Structure 1
């Protein structure tokens, strides 16, 4: 293997996992590029046993112990070399909504991407009820990955002797049609515009650094405030919604998106012409081999398209229109099963 091949494969990078692909790197320096999931725990939980479980899942999922390494060509790589221990911050629980405040506090603290790790944990603790918050840099995972991670954490919490099988994080692009991004309808910038931007950058390049990111992060969160809108359905209400969506041939995402657009237009009015775009992510794992679902990584596609709520149609007709657009994107982007690559385990 020559020097160029070594660089492309990352074999000369200590602890190398793999190179970041474009969507992951696009999220890396985003001041709003974090994702969080919280799980409520009924009953007492041992912080010592929880830390042991966190250590187990870190060995199972390499990106939990990753940092970003920039090579001489300024390509970004995930690496596990000399990454600090997993962080668990424990705070006394004072209310049922305290986890809102803790997530807001986490948003105030930027990740040190070149040091790592790119994930943090918060235990809002009481002997009766606790919340475990997982807060991660979006480039290493999506919301589904975090939900699956919480499952894995409690499996290892309950089964300390369980065998740990390392699951390497696959590339989403390995499962997408050649020359396609996550969504064909999201190509909102033409090739000419992109080429022009690339030309300008090559004439006056600037490589973003951790110090740059910290300053942008501070400025962003000085002006912005993170908030959570909680929509909670009771179990019987959830069952009714699922049954309705199935009967109408749409997903819950399509139905709730249509409902939120209708509510927005009813309260505020139509979207401005230059902002009439919605973006909806979709989970690639559901359409790929079973073992991919266990991988911890950023593994989503997205549809972005102009849409408005048609007042002449009912909610379900609007939801069906949204569903058709997303379904077409998904089917057009994902490689057929015969071309799937296998997930490496060691």
Structure 2
């Protein structure tokens, strides 16, 4: 694993130096376990996943490289758990606090500990993993602690994603980069006059969370099947309509939704449950009016995301990273904000129904939340994970772009849209 970062990893590292690009997951665990056992589990985790054995060092001309030399254990911090909302407050800090990528592994762990219920929070550098990777890491930890007789399998050290995409003849040209969305999002523009954004201001992130019951989640899945759309399409429709209703525009508006898409099944080798950033990031644009139908919009979202696959655009992120780094190296420039394309109203990242059990010996996994830091220009970010038919949501909003009252209103309208659509007669 001593190797130079590939283009997509390098781009994320450059972006990270501008502001954190953390992925953070929180798991609520019922049952007691010792800190020593968790420490052993993290030592095992570092052996199991090769990307947890490295730090990043810089070579001549500021070239980043993964290094196995003198990498300490995975950092673990343990504090006393203080109530049901404690984890959410700590998660904000974890999203904003940079990893010591040049000195430590690219993962850290925080445990909010109590005798009966604990919150396990993991945070890692986005260049080594995605949300699904984080879910597997938490599963691995709980299995080690709760099921000591379970198999202890080491995963192979796989090539980086840039080297396992199919052969592609389609190339990015400089015009493609120049035509990337740079405009301000409608959502940001709506509230900009209420709170002028100060570039020197700290990154004012806020989080809140909620769940859909197993009964509601089951009904949603069934209704989406009837309507020939996906659960993700329905979730996007709900939040897009929520934004439109909160903006209260009398005219048609175009909203842009960013959806991280899992590409594990499209690579040239089987990556399985390996840690890695196996996603692409398409942005779909949707025209909304006061007459927009919920299920028509949900089907449109599904269709547009399917088109990304059909048109061979799943690997555009890798191609764009190569082109950006090549273009800027020729100009002698850095690309610290290359991932901040702007113009996005909302990100909805949905892990789907996680194939993770809830019981690990005497430990029970009760809730599961996923979030990433995102860019400074992004107003709203929704993380969704379904655990045993219970859908867990978390919303990250940036207070300087969307006031808290409006963020909560959008969520409330979105959920009302979703639940109303479930009971409508088809």
- TM-score normalised to structure 2 length: 0.62
Residue number in structure 2 paired with 1:238: 217
Change (3 A) 1:238 1:164: same
Residue number in structure 2 paired with 1:164: 153
Give the Cα–Cα distance (whole angstroms) in 2 for the partners of residues 108 and 85 of structure 1: 22
Deviation at 1:46, TM superposition (A): 1.4
RMSD of the alignment, in Å?
3.0
Deviation at 1:84, TM superposition (A): 1.8
- SS at 1:140's partner residue? coil
Matched, 1:55 2:40: no
Residue number in structure 2 paired with 1:285: 264
Residue number in structure 2 paired with 1:190: 175
Residue number in structure 2 paired with 1:23: 8
Give the Cα–Cα distance (whole angstroms) in 1 for the partners of residues 284 and 115 of structure 2: 47
Give the Cα–Cα distance (whole angstroms) in 2 for the partners of residues 295 and 220 of structure 1: 38
Give the Cα–Cα distance (whole angstroms) in 2 for the partners of residues 271 and 82 of structure 1: 60
Give 5+ residue unaligned stretches, structure 2: 180-197, 316-426
Give the Cα–Cα distance (whole angstroms) in 1 for the partners of residues 105 and 200 of structure 2: 21
Matched, 1:87 2:42: no
Aligned equivalent of 1:178, options 160, 168, 175: 168
Structure in which a larger fraction of residues adopt helix: 1
Deviation at 1:304, TM superposition (A): 1.3
Change (3 A) 1:61 1:329: same
- 1:310–1:318 CA contact under 8 A, matched in 2: no
Give the Cα–Cα distance (whole angstroms) in 1 for the partners of residues 22 and 43 of structure 2: 22
Change (3 A) 1:128 1:262: same
Residue number in structure 2 paired with 1:100: 88
Residue number in structure 2 paired with 1:319: 298
Residue number in structure 1 paired with 2:123: 135
Give the Cα–Cα distance (whole angstroms) in 1 for the partners of residues 283 and 106 of structure 2: 27
Give 5+ residue unaligned stretches, structure 1: 1-14, 182-186, 195-218, 336-346
Encode CA deviations 1:70-122: one digit per residue, 9 max, x unaligned.
Answer: 33354322222211211111111111110011112223422222222111111
Number of aligned residues: 291
- TM-score normalised to structure 1 length: 0.75
Deviation at 1:223, TM superposition (A): 2.3
Give the Cα–Cα distance (whole angstroms) in 2 for the partners of residues 271 and 27 of structure 1: 39
- SS at 1:39's partner residue? strand
Give the Cα–Cα distance (whole angstroms) in 2 for the partners of residues 158 and 39 of structure 1: 14
Change (3 A) 1:317 1:274: closer
- 1:169–1:297 CA contact under 8 A, matched in 2: no
Say which is worse superposed, 72-81 or 59-68, in terms of deviation.
Answer: 72-81
Change (3 A) 1:275 1:168: farther
